[in-house]
A and B are shown apart, each in its own frame.
Chain A
Amino acid sequence: MSDTLYIIIAGAILTYLTRIGGHLVLSRFDRVHPRVEAGLNAVPAAVLTTLVAPAAFSAGPAELAALVVAGLVALRFGTMSMFFAGAAVLIALRQVLG
């Protein structure tokens, strides 16, 4: 088997383990301690933020403007509108600013 296939298959198995692992560990306990519960409730904000932060901190004016506009739209409208508004600002400004 080629290295590529080996990497894909091993990577897939380990990835599936990450997608099921947290539940396998947690389901061993009969009840979840309130502090663990509080930690789990923090997961969306905590994890998703780390996918944005490095790019946001190193962003130029076009990227920052796109995030600001997307953020404002997100306060009133749904995901679709937010995404398209941000994308439109990003692409328009990159044409101008390069």
Chain B
Amino acid sequence: MTVAYLNAPAQAALLDGARLGLPVMIASAPFGLLYGALAADQGLTLFETVLMSAAIYGGASQIVGLELFGQKVPPALVVLSIFAVNFRHILYSAAVGRRIGRWPLVQQLTAFFFLVDPVYAETENRVERGGKLSFAWYMGMCLPIYVSWLAVSGIGHVFGKLVPDPHALGFDFLVTIYFFGLVLGFRKRPLWLPIVLISGVASAVAYNTVGSPWHVSIGALAGIIFAVLMPVQREMEG
């Protein structure tokens, strides 16, 4: 598929999506470098490092998996941990399925593969603002993010040792800033503030008691259950 074969509106949608991919590429780059450097530390080959990014395609779960590689943990348990970190995507696919359920099956199956946190957030944003959710727009956003994720993973593997002081450059916290911005982007939704407070406190408490990665599912469920129990409101006003 090349751009030349697409009609004009599809081309415009593709570029529109690609524009949204740019900040994601920049925000996820330090995270990818960190992953690549850690993979090299754990003795993964360059091929395995990039393959893991290409096949699993979930930064936090890749790093959790790597940390367990070094600890003589049974492989099945490492796989289970990766699954646990990525469990939140079940909620994304349930929510996004409402929007793309009418796309041709192959397009749906493709789209779900690329459904990572920022892609999910931007897709919901697009719907909220009344924009058209087309496959061209979606892939225009996803492909640059994906390719750059593979690239920075490989670069991190080869050159990770050359970054003088990742802490001083904020590597560990940049992705937090980015996700914080995504949370704020939904502030016009019904019950936004109570949901954020409940999920925030519940996940922080779970993080310090049950531990990671379960704090994500526990915190998310707390906010969602609250929203389910509240009197039903008209959605997407304001």
Contact = CB atoms under 8 A, between A and B. Distances in A.
Interface stretch (B10-18, B152-160, B170-178): B170-178
Interface in B161-195: 167-170, 173-174, 176-186, 189-192, 195
A43 B181 contact: no
B91 A43 contact: yes
Contacts of B173: 55, 59, 63, 66, 90
A44 B186 contact: yes
B83 interface: yes
Interface residues of A, number: 67
B174 A87 contact: yes
Contact of B121 (A22, A48, A78): A48
Contact of A54 (B189, B215, B230): B215
Interface of A: 3-12, 14-16, 18-27, 32, 34-57, 59, 63, 66-67, 70-71, 74-75, 78-80, 82-83, 86-87, 90-91, 94-95
Given A10-B79, A50-B88, A67-B176, 18 more contacts: A6-B75, A7-B82, A19-B93, A19-B113, A21-B93, A35-B232, A38-B228, A42-B224, A44-B182, A45-B195, A48-B182, A55-B173, A66-B177, A70-B177, A78-B23, A86-B177, A91-B170, A94-B168
